[in-house]
Chains A and B, each alone.
Chain A
């Protein structure tokens, strides 16, 4: 089949699913709307597989013209290359598993069909985002996933207890993302002004020819554009300064956290920067800023995760921290490495989130790890898969996270050993909080209520099947990009594959030597094993438990309170904004505008009252005025005629 037909099929599948469920879903039984959503994404995955087998060169498909102006066109055109296919594989593949999981997880929910509508719509928007061949389509998808994220975070907005806080979390995510989106819009305007096009390939070509005025290495224009793009990425991919929405976004149902706020949407920023590599390669300054922001985010978020007690919050901060690692890779110009980590992270973080969802489902909606413990006997499959996910994210040797993290720290070590130390510290923290989470949830004694104990159960097959598939992927995902150290043929398969995408094959990197690679791997493995042993001794042998809130001291308080980051933002931004709002409301509005408008209104009112008296109800007086008017017209006409003559 031709590529354009495959593309149209791919895009229309989730959209059709969303439309069917959105328009008629209320009449369907739950299993039907769930199946429609899942099958639509499942077939989309098959279509992407077809494209994956078929495309060896980037193909551009122009469907139709969207906007036409004198100077430029904006087309609904799509770039199908190795990068977009790879992202689409992750989106539809993980998406299918999570749709399947949701069929079980949401089974007790009222808005079942609505949930699948939003999920399918999200898949559609995300596919637009990664497949678009210009910044306009990318932005379209970017906003689409943003609105789906908003709708799904606030999905339980009518919950009697948490409804308000869910809505507030959704609003926070929306506002934070909007700040980032402004960056993308500004960048698009600057690109349009400079290059008169938004197409990736045409911009890259113009940059390659070097004929555009004001565009050179580190020139203000390029740095401005790239920093605006990066601002957008900090919003979507939850980096400092805009990351605070992601932990709050955990208010959404757990499959949403897994699909949108861990595996796919938050990697949109990483994808966008990778796609814009031709711009970032001209702006080393912006790349350095990315490197440091990513590092700070990774460290700060890992620190915050240390003393969180909500099972999803820990994973949320861990996501922010891992995204920081990806941004570090981007800052180093190691785009394919970042995408590799996106891939493995999608596997193990989706696994961990779905695992936590399975736990929450089995624990009658309990999310506090202080109320859990000993679940390994009650939920054997969830336990085993969660353990695999934990090991993978902690960088346990030979699991997927080990390889992708190793690539990042390898590149970082070759660039700057000091920064390597900082990131290594963040990786140690990751291992610590993940093992804390794992041991407190699955080992020790059950600490929940009697009701929770009697209801605790392993989840149904629709939920455990995705867990098992993701666990397998988390174990073997590293094989996608084995270092040359282990095998000679087929090493770095993913990097070679992605290098087929425009721009990515052109970038040279300093490779770490074999000895230092071995050393780095040894250190990373040693650290993760050491933390595993420490966690076992501390939480299982010694039976340490999470402290209650009033026992926290020193750094633990800082971690549990997220470094007071939200409070600082409240003081710096929210409170002044509220004060300005109050000022405008109480002074400008109530003292100036309202009296002014009321004065105007009473003026017309009084004038009307006076004029009203002319309407006597007597026909003869009307006639009098009419005749008077006619006479005046005649007089006016006569005066005019006379004065003209």
Chain B
């Protein structure tokens, strides 16, 4: 495979941006679907970083790894969405601020 012509720095900055957007989204948004999307965003920013460095170092291991992560993430998203649907049926809402039973 040809070495990438794009500077690795851009990948790092993009991944960091995606991660920070995701993290902030989790912190400030209340909608559970948005929350799940934000988590996916953070996960995929890491995936992106993995693939970028894999190409950069000319080692394909991480790319295979990422396939697995995508598969597991899909399963995880399924579980998350199922929980979301059940929670909606139960509470008629997908606002996470309602889930505060752990309050001390």
Contacts and interface: CB of A to CB of B under 8 A. Distances in A.
Given A620-B27, A623-B26, A615 B103 contact: yes
Interface string A593-624: 00000000000000000001111111111011
A639 interface: no
B99 interface: yes
A552 interface: no
A619 B96 contact: yes
B100 A618 contact: yes
Interface residues of A, number: 13
Nearest to A612: B104
A627 interface: yes
A616 B103 CA distance: 5
B83 to A, nearest CB: 13
A615 B28 CA distance: 17
Interface string A617-639: 11111011001000000000000
B101 interface: yes
A616 B102 CA distance: 7
B27 A617 contact: no
B23 interface: yes
A617 B103 contact: yes
Nearest to B103: A617
B43 to A, nearest CB: 15
Nearest to B35: A620
A618 B35 CA distance: 13
Nearest to B20: A627
B5 interface: no
B97 interface: yes
A598 to B, nearest CB: 24
A620 B28 contact: yes
A613 B26 CA distance: 21
Given A627-B23, A627-B27, A620 B103 contact: no
Contacts of B23: 623, 627
A616 B101 CA distance: 9
| Listed residue (B27, B96, B99) with the most chain A CB atoms within 10 angstroms of its CB | B27
Contact of B102 (A617, A620, A623, A627): A617
Interface string A116-128: 0000000000000
Which of B97, B99, B101 is packed against the most chain A CB atoms within 10 Å? B97
Contacts of A623: 23, 26-27
A623 B27 CA distance: 6
Contacts of A627: 23, 27
A618 B97 contact: yes
A627 B26 CA distance: 11
A613 B104 CA distance: 7
Contact of A616 (B27, B28, B30, B100): B100
Contacts of B26: 620, 623
A612 B28 CA distance: 22
B27 A624 contact: yes
Interface in A264-318: none
Contacts of A624: 27
B31 to A, nearest CB: 11
A620 B29 CA distance: 8
A616 B27 CA distance: 13
A624 B24 CA distance: 8
A618 B99 CA distance: 7
Contacts of A617: 99-104
Nearest to A609: B104
A615 B99 CA distance: 13
Interface string A518-550: 000000000000000000000000000000000
28 contacts: A614-B104, A615-B102, A615-B103, A616-B100, A616-B103, A616-B104, A617-B99, A617-B100, A617-B101, A617-B102, A617-B103, A617-B104, A618-B97, A618-B99, A619-B96, A619-B99, A620-B26, A620-B27, A620-B28, A620-B29, A620-B35, A620-B96, A621-B27, A623-B23, A623-B26, A624-B27, A627-B23, A627-B27
Given A612-B104, A613-B104, A617-B100, 18 more contacts: A614-B104, A615-B102, A616-B100, A617-B101, A617-B103, A618-B97, A618-B99, A619-B96, A620-B26, A620-B28, A620-B29, A620-B30, A621-B27, A623-B23, A623-B26, A624-B27, A627-B23, A627-B27
**Top 10 A-B pairs, shortest CB-CB distance:** A615-B104, A617-B103, A617-B100, A617-B102, A612-B104, A624-B27, A620-B27, A623-B27, A623-B26, A618-B100
